[in-house]
Amino acid sequence: MRLLGLDPGLRHTGWGIIEASGNRLCHVANGVIDTDSAAGLAQRLMQLHDALMDLIGRYRPDEAAVEETFVNRNPTSTLKLGQARGIALLVPARCGIPVQEYQPKLVKKAVVGTGGAAKEQVQMMVGRILPGCELAGPDAADALAVAICHAHHRATASRIALAEAAS
């Protein structure tokens, strides 16, 4: 099962692709989509859209997971982040790929073991879970963490469904 994790942002959107086979996870690729800060909002959203379409075409993920937005003090920044997140949800969905959403604390807990983990701890644990993975930066590490979280949660949901079907 090939999983795409996304950490959306208008300036930098992290992405990560992993393969999940049973309880085994394998790194495929990761990176960051940077939009042109000199461009208008519509142009930047289109850049994000086009880059995500290219990623999906290149790596053909079976499922996608997107980190939920946390609200910060600046409402304008929160709104722009929400618009970028909308693109991150829309593109895989339009390609027929199921999309799940995860809160940042749940992602950190799934990867580090605590919902209050620092970015550096997430990066370190992503490197341990996916040995040999060269991270393209903190946003890419966060996206891989989202993919790892999704792999863990989908495996648990699958086991529960099998147990319910058997009883």
Give the residue numbers annotated as catalytic, written as ranges.
7, 67, 139
- 156 Cβ neighbours under 8 A, 6+ residues apart: none
Give the integer Cα–Cα distance in Å for 108 and 106: 5
Dihedral angle, C-alpha 88, 90, 95, 99, nearest 10 ° = 70
DSSP 73: S
